[in-house]
Structures are given as C-alpha cells and as structure tokens.
Amino acid sequence: MERAEPTRGRRKAEHMADTREALVAAGATLFASRGYAATGTEDIVSSARVTRGALYHHFSDKADLFRAVMERSARDMAQRLIEQETARAEAHPEYDAWTTLRLGFQSFLDACADPSFQRIVLIEGPAVLGHSIWDSLVDQHGYVLLAEVLTKAMQEGSIDALAVQPLTRMLAALISEASLYIARAQDQARAREETGDALDRILAGLERRPA
C-alpha cells in the first residue's frame, strides 16, 4: 500500500503523515471520551494543533476521520491479540486448538476492557458508520483472527463443524457485550468472574460430542 517516495520527497511526506496521525490521535481521544456527536471538529483540530482546513484536506468529512480512528483502534486490538496468541503458542506448544480457543477468548474478553475500544468500536461505530462500513472494518481487522482459530479447532475436531462466519460474529458479540457488562458493573472483579464462567460454559456447547 505504501509506495516508496523519491528520497527528496521524504521530509514533506513525513510531515503530512504526522499531521494526519495527530488528527487521528486527537479524534481517538475526544471521540472516546465525549462521543462522536458531542465532539466538534474545532475541538479535534485545536487538540491536534492544526486548523479545520487540514482535517478536510486529509479526510472527506468528520465521519471519514472517525472511520480512520476506528480502523486504528480495531487494528491495535487485533495486533495485541495476535501477539498474545503467538506468545502463547511459543510458550505452550502443547496446547491443542480447544485450549487455545478457550484461553484466547478469555484474552479477548480482557482486551475488550479498554474503554476507548468499547466506545469507538462497539458503541459509536455501528451508529456513525453504518453496518456496511463497520462490517468491512471488523471483518478486516477483527473477525479474521477469530475465524482462523475457530476453523483450526474444527479441523482438529475439538469442536463440531458449524458455519464459521455466523458463529464468529455471534461469539464476538457475546464477548463484546460481556466486556461492556463488566465495565459497567459496580463489582467489576465479580462481573469478570461471572462472565468468564458463563463464557466457558457457553463455549462448552461447541465442544465435539460423541455421536
């Protein structure tokens, strides 16, 4: 995607990238704390120390900036999960797909605790971007990982064969809602435990059964 610029053009290109990144970072902070509608474009550009002209030069409109913000948030989340996944695979090569699945889901649940991710990706995202854009973003960055793990578990025979695509999204929604429930609970430690238990029990329904 990123084409190598001629050496002369580097300085300018980097400066431009900086500006864009500053806008996305400012948008991420403000959208996450105040929400999309309550955040004015002037708030964003003043936080990024540019003007509204820069914003509308880099993005087609406010929603387009939000799209970039959500994409970054989703990408970061996927990156974190992949790192945890590979680290676990290295540390415990003996784990089978079923164990990996269960542990991975608990990791996902914990990672979703991030308030910025919750607000931007889970709450505002669907309303601001609409389902087609939101779906494409989550497909790219989020579901691929989940679907991969599920497919592997099916191939190993640790869970029964089901349609991977709907199952992926249903389980992702399950974990997402669980993370929101935990975040809003008075006793978060207890909520974490209870949702974790429920998640494990629900996953057990997918376990391969004797015919």
Partner DNA sequence: CATCCAACATACAGCCTGTATGTTGGATGC
Partner DNA sequence: GCATCCAACATACAGGCTGTATGTTGGATG
Which residue reads 């509204």 in tokens?
52
Cβ–Cβ under 8 Å, residues 85 and 145: yes
Q: At what angle do helices 144-155 and 164-184 cross, to 10 degrees?
A: 120
64 counts as binding a second copy under rule CB under 8 A: no
174 counts as binding a second copy under rule CB under 8 A: yes
Which positions touch DNA (CB under 7 A)? Answer: 6, 8-13, 15-16, 19-20, 39-42, 45, 50-54, 56-58, 61-63
Q: Which does 135 bind (CB under 5 to 8 A by kind): a second copy, DNA, none?
A: a second copy
Q: Which does 145 bind (CB under 5 to 8 A by kind): DNA, a second copy, none?
A: none
CB of 133 to a second copy, least distance (A): 12
35 counts as binding a second copy under rule CB under 8 A: yes
Out of 50, 74, 81, 128, the residue judged to bind a second copy by CB under 8 A: 128
Cβ–Cβ contacts within 10 Å for residue 37, how many?
11
CA atoms within 13 A on the CB side of 67: 16
C-alpha closest to that of 207 among 164, 174, 161: 161
